[in-house]
Amino acid sequence: MMLEIKNLTVAYGLNNKIKFNSMEIDNQKINVIYGENGCGKSTLLKAINDLIPIDSGNILIDNLVHTKKDSQRKICSFFDKERLFDFLTPKEYFELIVSNYSNKPKKLEKYYEAVEKDFKRNWFHGKNSIKSYSDGNRQLIGILCTFFAEPEIILLDEPFNFLDNETKKKLADFIIDYHKEKNTMIILSSNIAMEDYFPVDVLNIIN
């Protein structure tokens, strides 16, 4: 799979525009859009996800101009823990989101087992709503749900926010294993060095 950014400009505010250099992103490595806060990382991901309008230029997926239908069918993203449906339990939330990405029901038990084993989170047997959990747990719930949906493209905006160092490492290992198994296009944004958590040979750093 190939995603192409061609002479992209996104307007924000009254008279401001962000211009992005043309680039090609594929699914061979885990892609990290790296830069300081305010440089436009989140804006680019939101444009790819069709959450904000493009002023000029194009986004292409496998040589076809990206459409809203593509974003709904192919892309699952995490931008902010405050966007979760936090009145649901984690299990209810996962089932709701995943149901939007396939006409066939997916078996989520393997993911529930992985979360309990690898992350030591016991989210799936109680009736606690998402809003009752800590910021770090809510962040992790939102991130993991994008993988449970098994989309063609995963977008994660600053995924390591609010996570402790041990959970960051576990999440990095989960992402690496998932990418090896599914060969999904994964794009992260970050203002911290991802080389601290991922082997260099699995990363494509985009500045």
pLDDT in tens, 60-107: 988 888 777 766 678 999 998 777 898 999 999 998 888 877 655 567
Residue with tokens 């080389």: 195
DSSP 201: G
- Neighbouring residues of 151: CB distance < 8 A, sequence distance ≥ 6: 74, 75, 76, 101, 184
In this prediction, residues 120-144 reach a mean pLDDT of 93
In this prediction, residues 109-134 reach a mean pLDDT of 91
> Which H or E run includes 5?
strand 2-12
pLDDT at 32 over 90: yes
pLDDT in tens, 93-106: 998 888 877 655 56
pLDDT-derived band at 174 (thresholds 50, 70, 90) equals very high
* Residue 195, amino acid: E
* Residue 89, amino acid: T
Write down the pTM of the prediction: 0.92
Choose the weakest-confidence range: 9-13, 88-92, 138-142, 181-185.
9-13
- Euclidean distance between CA atoms 49 and 45, whole angstroms: 6
- Neighbouring residues of 90: CB distance < 8 A, sequence distance ≥ 6: 123, 124, 130, 133, 141
Q: Are 62 and 74 in contact (CB under 8 A)?
A: no
Question: Would you say how long the chain is, in residues?
Answer: 207
Choose the weakest-confidence range: 78-92, 154-168, 191-205.
78-92
Share of the chain above pLDDT 70, in %: 95
pLDDT at 9 over 90: yes
- Euclidean distance between CA atoms 11 and 6, whole angstroms: 15
Choose the weakest-confidence range: 17-31, 75-89, 151-165, 188-202.
75-89
* Residue 40, amino acid: G
Mean pLDDT of all residues belonging to the chain = 90
pLDDT value for 108: 86
In this prediction, residues 127-151 reach a mean pLDDT of 93
What are the DSSP calls for 110-136, one per residue? HHHHHIIIII----SSS---GGGS-HH
DSSP 78: E
Rounded to 5 degrees, what are φ and ψ at 153? -135, 135
